[in-house]
Structure 1
Amino acid sequence: MIGWLRLVYVALAFLAITAVLLPPHLFALWRDQPLARRIPRLWHQLMCPVLGLKVTTRGTQHSNGPLMLISNHVSWLDIIALGSVADVAFIAKSEVKDWPVFGRLARWQRSIFVERNQRRSTGEQVSAITERLERGEIVVLFAEGTTSDGNRVLEFKSSLLGVARQAGEDAHAGVVLQPVSIAYNRIQGLPMGRRHRFLAAWPGDVELLPHLLAVLREGAIDVEICFGRPSEVFDARDRKVVSRALREEVETMLAEALRR
């Protein structure tokens, strides 16, 4: 009974918060105002306590010039957590557009949708990312290309970083790459541990709706977001070398966060 009451509470809170913030957000989008980037952050900040998500940060987000955050990816909760600490636009796979509820929210947040398996669309994707960077937006790339079990960092897709790097070079604005780790380390105030990380993690073989319902019933999940060392995107090194270096830093930050 308590679990179902919590689901009702979350659903009503979601509808109320969205109903209040959506009209000014749509107006800001229509007028292309900076407020269109700030309202999503407020929505995420309000939804975190509703979902029982406690977000803490370590390190400092780079603040000078165009920025691309290169992050690991654990769950749909990453969007809520990271969206609550920065005014960001996410790079998402094109299928997300058609997801119920999540797809609509992603479009309202002006996510950049990419076709990861179609080389012919690479130019359009680079142009879309470049435009956002030139406008001073913070763009988030989940470089693994999928979600993990939350205990490790999967190999980064160098092709995705290649698109990001090309966009940075096209922007001609000194774009910075900053590694970010997202770690789910506590539940109900207790250390989560490897065996219980599945309560927050959403790997690719798990259905979205059952996982969503399980998280909403559970609540009280702690997530730690760590910002690593920023570096210029203009780098003579091979993109695979850059990819490995970024992954190693994210992996180190994740391991440290999971031990706390």
Structure 2
Amino acid sequence: MKGKTVIITGAASGIGKATAELFAKEGANVVVSDINETAARVVAEDIVSNGGKAVFIKTDVSMPEEMEKLVDFAVKTYGKLDIAVNNAGIGGEINPIADMSIEGWHKVIGVNLNSLFYGLKYQIQAMLKSGGGSIVNISSILGSVGFAGSAGYASAKHGVLGLTQTAAMEYSSQNIRVNSVGPGFIETPLLEALDSEMKSQLVALHPIGRLGRSEEVAELIFWLGSDKASFVTGSYHPVDGGYLAR
């Protein structure tokens, strides 16, 4: 990873933070991106204080011009873009479809799906100029199954798989690999609002008997971004403690 540049969206906490720290530890130039300026700036500063290379840029991934700005910033700062991890996402409104607000639907689609299209559009343009690269899109176990009350989230994450597969078909011959990771329920800030009973119910859905850790997902993202996964593209990799095997 030495000398390679990686963009990570949603890098202020959880999976994004763990992924940024891992890439930096292995020598990459890390562009830490998040809408939470305070927390993301701390992530970048901690990486630098530990001997790594990182810069921060505030990004609202639901805005196409901000995603274009993010890619331009990475290229201007480090000379090129080698790897992109499209991780930013929200849980979205929890309601049955008939009760879901139109605003709630548009918000989760904007952050969890539209942003992936914007990211791919500008990341691919940059990678084509430098001879290729690797893109990892963070979907979910709910990218392949439904979940009552989360129509917007599940729909967006299903869409991530379609974008991933299509992009892989279109650009693999030009040395750009595009893959997707589907985390199960991971101990991240997205789950902090849940009470102990709800968390216990979620744990019961994972045959391994616990929720996942961000670092466990980061390891797979790192591998997919690396040259060790050189023959892997258009794929979907659950990291789910057996959730989808039930």
Scaled to the shorter chain, the TM-score interval is 0.3 to 0.5
Q: Give the structure with higher Rg (CA).
A: 1
Normalized against structure 2, the TM-score is what? 0.41
Normalized against structure 1, the TM-score is what? 0.39
